[in-house]
Amino acid sequence: MSKAFTKESDADDDDAEPGSAPPLPAGGKNYITPQGYARLRAELIDLMDVERPKVVEAVHWAAKNGDRSENGDYLYGKKRLREIDRRIRFLTKRLEIAEVTDPAVHHGRDQIFFGATVRYADETGDERELTIMGIDEADSAHGQVSWISPIARALLKQREGDVVRLATPGGVHDIEILSVSYPPPVG
């Protein structure tokens, strides 16, 4: 059968970033804080201006050393170059559709919007704190959740003192919003 009529998956050409942020909801915006946007942009510039040229130089050097099929430097360099190019495409697409939203504009409010740091208590009285961030910048290890997460969706537009019903795989739980804060405006 002709190769033109078969569909082969080539994982190296896939634009999906392994281990990266989940896809955006259909029709949704890619909200991100100014700091998150700056971090992604800095990573993109570093990949294009520093990392990629180094790898290209290493691959060029390795290619001059003869048989490429058994040349580990060449093979690893080509693989690394594909990884860098995939990350560059991913970052470029995400930055193009980014909607930079500064949470400081809500400073002093008690209603929950993007960028809010929320302290809440569950039914057992355990208190937790989280910050609602963009998909590409949220880090659960630092108490940050993306704005599309179930808990963020339940909390958005609620106010201090409200009790919110949160549906989880373990059942429906009531959580009470204890406090809402935003970073102060810069300048």
Q: What is the CATH number of the domain that holds 170?
A: 3.10.50.30
Q: Which domain holds residue 83?
A: 29-100
Choose one of 45, 67, 100: the last residue of a domain.
100
Q: What CATH number is given to the structural domain containing 80?
A: 1.10.287.180
What is the pTM for the complete model shown? 0.76
- For residues 93 and 107, membership in a common domain is answered with no
Would you tell me how many other CB atoms lie within 10 Å of the CB of residue 165? 9
pLDDT at 83: 96
Compute the average pLDDT of residues 151-161.
Answer: 94
- For residues 111 and 177, membership in a common domain is answered with yes
Largest CA distance in the chain: 70
- For residues 127 and 157, membership in a common domain is answered with yes
Q: What is the DSSP string of 162-177?
A: -EEEEEETTEEEEEEE
- For residues 41 and 91, membership in a common domain is answered with yes
Cα–Cα distances (Å) from 157 to 59, 73, 100, in that order, read 52, 54, 19
Determine what percent of the chain is predicted with pLDDT higher than 70: 84
Which of the four pLDDT bands, split at 50, 70 and 90, describes residue 27? low
